[in-house]
Structure 1
Amino acid sequence: MGVISLVWGIVALLWMLLAFIPLLGWGNWFMIPFAAVGAIIAAIGLLFTRSENRGRARTGLILNGIAIVVGVVRLGLGGGFI
């Protein structure tokens, strides 16, 4: 679960960077739910993994959280259109 959430978070961050390009901001509408699913997978990974092996799941949770926050701020600044 940790590796899946980590890869999911990296993809969400790449998608977030793509959505920074003008006229591609609509991608945030799809990236935010995508990153939310990744955060849920990371939370499940944190629950069912031993404390020594939680680094990847924790990193995935952080990456997905950053993608969600930046996407919401970006949509708020652009009025939800760009």
Structure 2
Amino acid sequence: MGLISLLWGIVAMIWMVIALIPLLGWGNWFLIPFAAVGAIVAAIGIMLTRAESRGRAKAGLILNGIVIAVAVFRLSIGGGII
């Protein structure tokens, strides 16, 4: 679960960078649910693994959280409407 959430977060981060390009802000509407699923997978991974091996799941949760925060900010300034 940790590896899946980490890879999910990396894909979401790449998608976020692409969605920062002007006129591609509409991608944030799809990015937020995508990253939310990655964060849920990471949370499940944190709950189900031992304390010693939670690093990848925590990293995936942080990456997906950053992506969600940036996408919500980008939409709040009106970039997703164009």
**Fold match, TM over 0.5?**
yes
Partner of 2:12: 12
4+ residue runs over 2 A deviation: none
Partner of 1:33: 33
CA distance in 1, matches of 2:41, 2:47: 10
* 2:57 matches 1:69: no
CA distance in 1, matches of 2:71, 2:22: 14
Unaligned runs of 5+ in 2: none
Contact 2:25 2:79 in 1 (8 A): no
CA distance in 2, matches of 1:44, 1:51: 13
CA distance in 2, matches of 1:24, 1:79: 8
Question: After superposition, where does 1:51-62 map in structure 2 within 5 Å?
Answer: 51-62=51-62
Q: CA deviation at 1:47?
A: 0.1
Partner of 1:50: 50
Letter in 2 for 1:51: A
Unaligned runs of 5+ in 1: none
How many residues are matched? 82
Q: CA deviation at 1:80?
A: 3.8
User: What's the Cα RMSD here?
Assistant: 0.9
